[in-house]
Amino acid sequence: MKLWMWQEKHEAEQGTVRWRIEWETVKPGHDEISDIDPGRDLDWHVRSYQTERTAKIQARRLLKSGTLAYGVVRLEKQIADSPEENPCGQGEWITVGETQYVEG
């Protein structure tokens, strides 16, 4: 069944798997991580990939870049699904399993 993924504004087949990575970088103008306000001085980034391998390769590239605020990339497996309370074909990405932390 096709689902309308309202967050990304596209369709996905129910049961489709994606791998999502998240990381933070410090906004320009801040030299010390201890001197920042996480709510104001960080940029939050998210990307999704079709395979776990591709997501891990990108996570390792980010680690090597030296631009991460905390030196870690979070990796999550997500599945396209339709909540029971929403039978109208709208879908959402449901995180399954434990969040993995890719560290340098």
Q: In a structure prediction context, what are the per-residue pLDDT tens digits for the chain, which is 104 residues long?
A: 889 887 888 899 999 999 999 999 988 887 666 778 888 899 999 999 999 999 999 999 999 998 899 999 999 999 999 877 666 778 999 999 999 999 87
The C-alpha atoms of residue 59 and residue 26 are separated, in whole angstroms, by 17
Domain count for the chain, please give it.
1
Q: Which domain holds residue 70?
A: 2-77+85-103
CB 19 within 8 A of CB 50: yes
Q: How is residue 9 written in tokens? A: 């504004």
Residues 6+ apart with CB under 8 A from 44: 22, 24
Reported as half-sphere exposure (CB side, CA atoms, 13 A), residue 42 has a value of 17
Give the global pTM. 0.85
